[in-house]
């Protein structure tokens, strides 16, 4: 969508919608690395609560456009926010142009976006967040909030008092809206993966380390590859920076040692590492 009229209009409208995004932020993780700080402040033990994560399937393409645009209009024109300088019917028309008039070609055919949020749209993340947070507010207006609840875009981390409560919350989430379908993953052996974190119980608190999928292969850009030197050095800095942000103090040395071994196998001298 870069360079298209819809892209520029969407960028402008995203600024208009920015105040709405700040209304229901109580459960939102602003960026993924923040989660390490949040979870370390949560107190628990092997006998306290049950950890699980919920994942929303295909959020962007399932956002109900008409409903979400209506939520935005209600918030801007009938809520406590400062109203835009143009009337509501103009706002609705502009939102329609930026979301429902997106034309694209595939395999020799032309298509038009009619519902859901087009991938690449500047309005995509904004509308998805507004839609989910509105539904989230409805949920906790009628359902008791669990012991711990954090959400990053469409991934949710929860600690409930029991496995029964976890399953009940999953049922409530799936009843929120026909466009929202969640799946659940529960903790196994006092640990749970969430985003790129591995969360483990440790006494009365939780530790975090880097989670790697079972299919992970320890291969990064080779030292002798035809690639700029700065990119190779930045690889090392990025891996170390990630470890410092994610790993608890008791997990950091093991992660740095693992990173060193992977880099050595990729041809990087120890003195460079």
Residue 236 and residue 107 in one domain = no
Per-residue CA distances from 23 to 28, 35, 188, 224, 230 (Å): 11, 20, 35, 50, 41
- Are residues 217 and 176 part of one domain? no
Q: For residue range 30-64, what is the model confidence (pLDDT) as tens digits? A: 788 888 888 877 765 556 788 999 988 777 777 88
The model's pTM: 0.80
Q: Cβ contacts of residue 156 below 8 Å, gap of 6+?
A: 53, 54, 55, 56, 149, 150, 173, 182
213 and 172 share a domain? no
What are the pLDDT digits (tens) for 233-244? 999 999 999 999
The pLDDT, as a whole number, for residue 24 is 65
- Total domains, the chain: 2
Q: Does the residue 120 lie in any domain? A: yes
Cα-based angle 246, 249, 253 (whole degrees, multiple of 5): 90
Does residue 239 lie in a domain region? yes
Q: What is the pLDDT of residues 74-89, one digit of tens each?
A: 999 998 888 999 999 9
Give 162-173 as a 3 state SS string.
Answer: CHHHHHHHHHHH
Domain boundary among 189, 219, 246: 189
Same domain, residue pair 146 and 15 = yes
Residue 172 in domain: yes
Q: Are residues 165 and 97 in the same domain?
A: yes
225 is in which domain, residue-wise? 209-265
């Amino acid at each position: 969508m870069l360079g298209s009229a819809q892209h520029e209009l969407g960028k402008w409208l995203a600024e208009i919608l920015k105040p709405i995004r700040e209304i229901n932020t109580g459960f939102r993780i602003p960026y993924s690395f923040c989660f390490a700080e949040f979870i370390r402040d949560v107190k628990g033990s092997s006998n306290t609560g049950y950890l699980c994560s919920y994942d929303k399937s295909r959020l962007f393409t399932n956002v109900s456009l008409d409903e979400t645009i209506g939520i935005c209009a209600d918030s801007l024109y009938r809520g406590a926010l400062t109203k835009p300088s143009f009337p509501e019917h103009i706002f609705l028309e502009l939102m329609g142009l930026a979301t429902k008039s997106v034309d694209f070609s595939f395999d020799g055919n032309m298509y038009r976006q009619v519902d859901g949020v087009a991938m690449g749209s500047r309005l995509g993340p904004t509308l998805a967040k507004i839609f989910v947070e509105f539904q989230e507010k409805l949920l906790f207006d009628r359902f008791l909030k669990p012991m711990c609840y954090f959400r990053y875009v469409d991934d949710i981390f929860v600690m409930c008092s029991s496995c029964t409560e976890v399953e009940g919350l999953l049922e409530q989430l799936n009843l929120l809206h026909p466009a929202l379908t969640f799946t659940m993953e529960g903790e196994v052996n006092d640990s749970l993966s969430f985003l790129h974190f591995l969360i483990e119980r440790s006494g009365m608190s939780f530790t975090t380390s880097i989670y790697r999928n079972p299919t992970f292969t320890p291969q990064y850009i080779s030292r002798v590859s035809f690639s700029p030197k700065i990119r190779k050095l930045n690889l090392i800095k990025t891996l170390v920076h990630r470890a410092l942000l994610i790993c608890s103090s008791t997990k950091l040395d093991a992660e740095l040692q693992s990173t060193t071994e992977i880099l050595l196998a990729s041809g990087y001298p120890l003195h460079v590492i």
